Amino acid sequence: MITGSTRAAGVIGTPIRHSLSPSIFNAAFVAAGLDWAYLAFEVPEGAAGLALGGMRALGLEGLSVTMPHKAAVLEGLDELSTDAEALGAANCISRRGGLLRGDNTDGPGFVDSLRIDEGIDPDGLRCAIVGAGGAGRAVARALAGAGASEVVIVNRSPEPAARAAALAGGQGRVGTAEEVGDVDLVVNATPLGMGVVVSTAGEPEPLPLDVQRLGSGQTVVDLVYHPAVTPLVSAARARGLHAVTGLGMLIHQAAHAFRLWTSEDAPLEAMSAAAVAELARRGVPA
């Protein structure tokens, strides 16, 4: 029940009405027995600073930040984590007394999804990331930080590829599409496959990489989570590969935010179940 003492958090972005975060966080607050509530706020491009002013004035405890505000919020914050500073982007804002702190939980969420859900430790793995936008950069930095021996960036535009490779330090370099077959772990960090329900009619499906190049022993992770089973995940599984959906990263980056805001353990099972249930409610195959 929402009362006068309920504490409030939310997500800012545009478009925002499709966000799974309200389902995930409200389920988490219920499971943890916390008197908190979480709402989605449609904030137009250019209005991130106004939203932060609103957060301060209204005393919101935390804000998740999504497209297109992850970079724009930085200038309105008082403190940044080292990840947020290096990436030039924050996806999580916490109120610390009168100050607002920005974190970037995408990379840690990605690594947690590998370690906790899949039992895969990136330490020593050769990795390739296809795509070099905000998600690709966060994953590149996190994989290097987790000990990956190599982080190869494959992207259609060279400048973002070089920027992402630099974030992986000495382990990072720009590579070619052919190299996806030479690594242990392949990550799709492009939006290709988003909103595409896998066709059973044999129609061409947009794939971000050539699955014919992949072989046994390789793991494929698709950061796209809507639908959960993307054309890439489906095609990789059809070749007998271990393919991981983007839902794990979504849940674990939210779990980091939950811990930052509440200082409590995140109820991962309840959060995951809520995301799956919301996708099913929308008729999206899981």
The set of catalytic residues is: 70
Q: Are 136 and 262 a contacting pair, CB within 8 Å?
A: no
Binding of ligand NDP at residue 160 (CB under 6 A)? yes
Q: How many residues bind ligand NDP (CB under 6 A)?
A: 23
End-to-end Cα, the chain, rounded Å: 30
Between 36 and 225, CB nearer to ligand NDP: 225
Nearest to 73 by CA among 59, 103, 52, 99: 52
Instruction: Work out how close the CB of 19 gets to ligand NDP at its nearest, in angstroms, rounded to a whole number.
Output: 11
Torsion of CA 217, 219, 220, 225, to 10 degrees: 140
Q: Using the rule CB under 6 A, which residue among 68, 88, 133, 181 binds ligand NDP?
A: 133
Q: Using the rule CB under 6 A, which residue among 108, 136, 175, 227 binds ligand NDP?
A: 136
Report d(CA 260, CA 47) in Å as an integer: 24
Instruction: Work out how close the CB of 141 gets to ligand NDP at its nearest, in angstroms, rounded to a whole number.
Output: 13
Instruction: Work out how close the CB of 113 gets to ligand NDP at its nearest, in angstroms, rounded to a whole number.
Output: 8
Binding of ligand NDP at residue 21 (CB under 6 A)? no
Nearest to 284 by CA among 206, 195, 199: 195
Piece of the chain touching ligand NDP by CB under 6 A; list 22-30, 178-186, 187-195, 196-204: 187-195
Query: What is the edge-to-edge ordering of all strands in the sheet holding 172-174?
Result: 172-174, 150-154, 126-130, 185-188, 219-222, 242-244
Nearest to 62 by CA among 238, 262, 218: 262
Q: Read out DSSP for 115-139?
A: IIIH----TT-EEEEE--SHHHHHH
Residues of this chain, 50-89, that bind ligand NDP according to CB under 6 A: none
Between 156 and 282, CB nearer to ligand NDP: 156
Piece of the chain touching ligand NDP by CB under 6 A; list 1-9, 57-65, 156-164, 269-277: 156-164
Residues of this chain, 193-252, that bind ligand NDP according to CB under 6 A: 194, 223-225, 246, 249-250
Binding site for ligand NDP (CB under 6 A): 106, 131-136, 155-157, 160, 189-192, 194, 223-225, 246, 249-250, 253
